[in-house]
Amino acid sequence: MTRLIVTALLATLVLGLAACGGSDVPPTNAEYAQAVVSAVDRTDYALGRITRAKSKDEIVERMAEAAVVIEAASSDLEEHGAPDVFVDDNEKLVSSLDALANDVGLTAEQIQQPGSEDLLTGALGLSFNSWDKVNLALGRLIGSGLRVQTLQRH
C-alpha cells in the first residue's frame, strides 16, 4: 500500500513539473522582441493614463494601477526569458521596470499623505530616474539590433 502511495505521489510530482514548462530553450530574438514590445506598450499605456486624470484622487488611483501594470510587465519579461545574447540586458530592463513600478506606486502613496497636498500643485510633470534607466536598458537592446522602442514621454 505504501509503495502505491509513493508511486502515485511521484507520478503526480513528475506530471506537475512537466506542466510547469521548465523548458531550457530560450526564446528567439523575434519572440523576445515581441515580449519587450508588449512590456513597453503596457507601460506606456499605464503611464499615459496618469496624465489624463482629472482629479488628484484619479491621479493617485491611476498611479497605483500603473505600478501594478508595470510590475506585471516586468514579471512577464523575467518569466519569458531572453536569448543568451540579451540575458544581461533583460535583467537590467526587468530591474529598471521593477524600480519604475516601485517609484510610481510610492509616489501615489506619498501624494495621499497629509502635508503632501501641494506635491501636484503647479507641477509640470513627474520625473523618475527609474524611467531613464528603463530607457537606457531599452537603448542597449536597440543598439544590439533588437527592434523595440523606448518609453514615450507623457
Would you write out the chain's pLDDT as a tens digit for each of its 154 residues? 444 343 333 333 333 333 334 457 899 999 999 999 999 999 999 999 998 999 889 999 999 999 999 999 999 999 999 999 999 999 999 999 999 999 999 999 988 888 766 666 555 456 688 999 999 999 999 999 999 999 998 7
Give residue 71's pLDDT. Answer: 98
User: Using CA atoms, how far apart are residues 149 and 145, in angstroms rounded to an integer?
Assistant: 11
In this structure, the number of other CB atoms found within 10 A of the CB of residue 142 comes to 15
φ and ψ of 115, to 5 deg: 95, -10
Q: Which amino acid is at 45?
A: Y
- Rounded to the nearest angstrom, the gap between the alpha carbon of residue 108 and the centroid of all alpha carbons in its chain is 17
User: Using CA atoms, how far apart are residues 87 and 2, in angstroms rounded to an integer?
Assistant: 45
